[in-house]
Structure 1
């Protein structure tokens, strides 16, 4: 009887999870269908799961504009890869230091890390620091360093993972063998921390891929446009629908033909596609890393 009840609850749980999964996928399905909807029909009737007229004109526009959009994708990839690698190295290094018992001023460093989660100097103060002290304005580093380089929440996740999932005996054995802290971190701790590294790497990569605020704040001059990411291009289109008409001579389409409504959906589809494709490969590490890294010290 108990076995039958468990089987029933398992079936119910699977049905509920399947329904929730379908509900989670519906917005992406609507996004894709909207991108292949005829622009005139979408403007008149709005977006629908069952449009009466389809068109691939939005994707044709993207192909025709590939000089601008392709460069934006290249900058997005460079920013995401470089920023994620640097961020993971800094985050894991800082977390390893905080997880090391006997570290001088460890309590103070923990306090400062948590303090940044609760309080901030604000946008204006941050802007002046990055522009006046570090001179990142209108450079590639403006898309990498501000705001996204290190996250206190990620540091805490990694620190808890190190303290609860990396056997202290291995670290002590490495010290006895004469390994210094950098070698222990590189050869012992990181190889045993693939789940949490993959977790924070995925979250950081998504943040870099979707970021447009850094470009809005720090890419202000004309030469700063060379570092525009795909999100900046998409945001420019969303801010001013006239962007498409002003570039109609480049696209080769007349003003009436420009898919001013559906092209935003098409760019969003192409923009999120790499993340959707990459996520399944990181999912098992993501769940395990969040679970183990969230354990309280």
Structure 2
């Protein structure tokens, strides 16, 4: 008998598939190239960047940018801790609140589903604005300089609710009805049946929440004045602004920087990108297998 597995393995790929593979390899290279430039530039000196531009391979390898950013490691570690804590807590609570709301408006037998659906959809079209939000958080709720001020504003989003609702509508009603016949309550149905079925959508939703909380610096700027509650993104922005000031003519005039000396602000930008985006780049592959499924399921409903 012929070994068909060996013959199939040795069979050359059709020209069409080779072209498709080449196109995707080229696209991957295009996507990876900027990230390699960021890594290489973060190890360049300021003078080399000004003279030769950005490069993947530094002409003169230096740690100057990282030394400046990591000058106070305790502050950086504290900001990492605050960012990780708010991201984890906000993502978990946000997924629970969003999924609960979406489950309620996805149930056809729920009395107020139309009103709640319109209420959340209205928030997607109109927003109260920054001033009312600030008054609510600071004056009425008294959350200034608290960790809740970094979590509460992002707990629910109209788009996230609608995304989750589209998935939950694909769950057959017979599953819920059979659970009710067996004596299960609404909370038990939601926790033990709906949530396990919704893993792809929850993974996608969790990734969106994590990116939102991790990349946030606006809430820190508005509601936080204490350094021990400063998030990573805001800390890096403040460090960058300080370095840009040190490269200004005013700083040289006041004697803060010697004439001809360049503070590594350009390379520090790249170093900050690595410090800020690195953890999320490691987390994303864990959600990748659920990501597309969570976005597309429920998009077509017969």
Q: TM-score, normalised by structure 2?
A: 0.85
| Residue equivalent to 2:297 | 292
Work out whether residues 96 and 162 of structure 1, in 8 Å CA contact, stay in contact via their aligned partners in 2. Answer: yes
Counterpart selection for 1:227 from 215, 226, 229: 229
Query: What's the CA shift for 1:211?
Result: 0.5
Gaps of 5+ in 1: 1-5, 246-253
Work out whether residues 237 and 243 of structure 1, in 8 Å CA contact, stay in contact via their aligned partners in 2. Answer: no
Moved over 4 A (4+): 242-245, 254-258
Measured in 1, the distance between the counterparts of 2:244 and 2:163 equals 44
Measured in 1, the distance between the counterparts of 2:60 and 2:284 equals 32
Q: Give secondary structure in 1 for the equivalent of 2:108.
A: coil
Query: What's the CA shift for 1:260?
Result: 3.2
Deviations 1:36-86 (A, max 9, x none): 112332244432334422212222344442111111111110110011011
CA RMSD between the two structures: 2.3
The number of residue pairs the alignment matches comes to 280
Measured in 1, the distance between the counterparts of 2:198 and 2:245 equals 46
Measured in 2, the distance between the counterparts of 1:87 and 1:134 equals 19
Measured in 1, the distance between the counterparts of 2:112 and 2:163 equals 20
| Residue equivalent to 2:16 | 9
Q: Give secondary structure in 2 for the equivalent of 1:55.
A: coil
* Cα distance change of structure 1 residues 293 and 209 upon mapping to structure 2, 3 Å threshold: farther
Q: TM-score, normalised by structure 1?
A: 0.87
Which deviates the most, 83-92 or 257-266? 257-266
Query: What's the CA shift for 1:144?
Result: 0.8
Measured in 2, the distance between the counterparts of 1:168 and 1:22 equals 46
| Residue equivalent to 2:95 | 88
Measured in 2, the distance between the counterparts of 1:293 and 1:214 equals 33
* Cα distance change of structure 1 residues 48 and 265 upon mapping to structure 2, 3 Å threshold: same
| Residue equivalent to 2:202 | 197
Q: Give secondary structure in 1 for the equivalent of 2:61.
A: coil
Work out whether residues 236 and 272 of structure 2, in 8 Å CA contact, stay in contact via their aligned partners in 1. Answer: yes
Query: What's the CA shift for 1:160?
Result: 1.1
